[in-house]
Structure 1
Amino acid sequence: MATENAEVQAAAAEMLERKHAERLERLALINKNRLEGSSIRKSQAADSSDPRESVDVFLAAFGQKREVVEKGLASALANEVEPTHIKRHLDDLALEVGALEKLVADASYFLPAYDVRSSQTTILKLKDDLESASSQLLPKKKFSFRNKAAKKVPAPSIEEKPTTLETGQVKPNGLQDTPQPVPADSPAASLPEINNRERIQGKENMVFVRDADVLGAELTLSNLNKCKVYLRGRLTTLYIDSLRNCQIFVGPVTGSVFIENVENSTLVLASHQIRIHSTKSTDFYVRVRSRPIVEYTTKNRFAPYAFSYLGIEEDLRAANLAEETGLWEKVDDFRWLRAVPSPNWTSVPLKERIHVEDGSIVTDAVSSYIVAIISQTEAARRHAFKLHS
């Protein structure tokens, strides 16, 4: 009897051991299949992904281009470049800086915010260094935007008395007086000298029209209220800061547009990259090569680009912005990390979108009825915001 029990127990132990071995074998097979599947998926992902969409690849390329510019500046300042070739040398370095800007703009949709800000800071420093080197090594040469000659235009009949524009006085019949010389101590004479980084700032109830004559131009718009600005031609970089109740129409920007502290305005922009910070109740009509980025914003709306002027098609092609990308409605809110859409922006409803603005014939010599139209348009848009909020 004892022998039979021992045989039964031995058989049971052998069966358990066999089942345990089979279980371990199955687990080993599952793990092997999992590892093989993971390796295949990684290989497929590597084969199908864009090799440019890599932070490491971007940083390596950015570092190489930055080193080229830094070495080029160092050789120029050390008088290692022939005087007859120095202008071309600096022009080549400016093109390299432009290539850096495009590199950042194209990669901004997958780069971490820190890398984007760090790269932009580096580019700004390189630009300052290049400008400093140019001022030391080249003869002084003004870099300007062209103001269209003031034309006499009749103003529609309105009850409000036209106000004074910087270009002269508006007569009761709507005609523009010939601009008179401005005293040196007057506010208009205190405008900064036009150079590589022109500024339009500290103005109210005015219309500005600028045509970029030279590639590589940078422009800053700051501290404007109830102004309308037309920027025709190609810019490299545009800085917008502290605008209230304004309408801004901009041709293609080959680099980036940086926007800060704007309220109750309409901005029409075409650029490789658009970054918006601390802005509210503003409509953006954009064409952009990367997703627009917003931070600390609220009640902003987006729609497709809506600006035209004679020659804009050629400018857009030259800036690689000829085609609509559809990215105007794919906004990245860096302060909204939830899975649901950000409440800080929305699309402009079709019936509320502006028509394409034709900037071909406008000039600085525009009477104040245009400013009145701006105010009416902004009031209607703010009313629409209240209805939607």
Structure 2
Amino acid sequence: MRAIGIILAGGNSNKMGELSEKRAVCAMPIAGHYRSIDFALSNMSNSHIQTVGVITQYNAGSLNEHLSSSKWWDFGRKQGGMFIFTPTQTANNSRWYRGTADAIGQNLDFLRKCHEPYVIITSGDCVYKMDYNKLLEYHISKQADITVVCKDMPADVNTDRYGTIRMNEESRIDEFEEKPVVAKSNTVSCGIYVIRRRQLIELIEKAEAEERFDFVRDILVRYKDMKRIYGYKIKEYWSNIATVEDYYKTNMDFLKPEVRNYFFNEYPNIYTKVIDLPPAKYNVGVRVKNSLISSGCIINGTVEDSLIFKESFIGNNCYIKNSIILNDVYIGDNTHIENCIVESHGTIQANSYCKGEDKVKVVVENNERYVI
């Protein structure tokens, strides 16, 4: 493909609460086995993009560990590959990234050394499948300076926290508002962009000179009347993980057969780092209904409409419903958990009761697992 990829994976979402205290949002577990960033990386690989730069910053330990080997996404190659960029102290700079444009700006040498004419920029906290070749063909056919992937959201979805756009009959963007107080459109930006590499370098250099640091506000919004910026609408599944509610809903979507088939059974595939674990074990008397149970789990009791992530233990007479149990959680006997997200590596003591009432409840327990 005639493009390189950049995945912006360094941001911190305060709306994720306790879930982002341990890890970057792009490292959040998805669908029992995957991480959020796997979807962007798999799309890059499936689109035959050979060179990808991943820009990390906030709480990057778990994310960097996940990305420690690029072979899982077929980026272990002689030509190109996957490159991880973190804030680095140099003779000229010792700052953290101050925004998405600044994150690209501090790594401009990566763009200058590449030879592909185009750049695909995407965030690492979205769940979707996409062929970037079709996006690039559209970009070229429109003779666009920048193409923004967008999606029409249902009427009942609050779009105030997204970037909202309006397009004319030729799909050229007339209006672009980043997180408006009152949204005027239900068409939102998906955080995926195509731009010519040399033009991106020029715009980033100009933004740096003017001390402007945000790619959306200081490039897309600022130049929408001067550059040919087009929208590329998608109809397929797309979800952004920006809040606890979004994270919960995205995972719960995988309990729907049509969503599971779309991601797991339809080509192209989604790839992730493989960990060798035994299959899940279901003990006598277990009742599991409409749930995803991951490798390495031991299940007792009842699990309904829930996702149990890797290496978790569900004790005797437990009742788990409408909940997400993250990796390596120990749940003691006679525990009731409903409408909750249980943080990874936690221990829920026996006879506990946890239930989210008006909204999803995040449960964080760091009790000692074994007490003498």
TM superposition score normalised by structure 1: 0.25
Higher helix share: 1
Please give the TM-score of this superposition, normalised by the length of structure 2: 0.26
Structure with greater proportional strand content: 2
Higher relative contact order (CA 8 A, sep 6+): 2
Q: Which of the two has higher C-alpha Rg?
A: 1
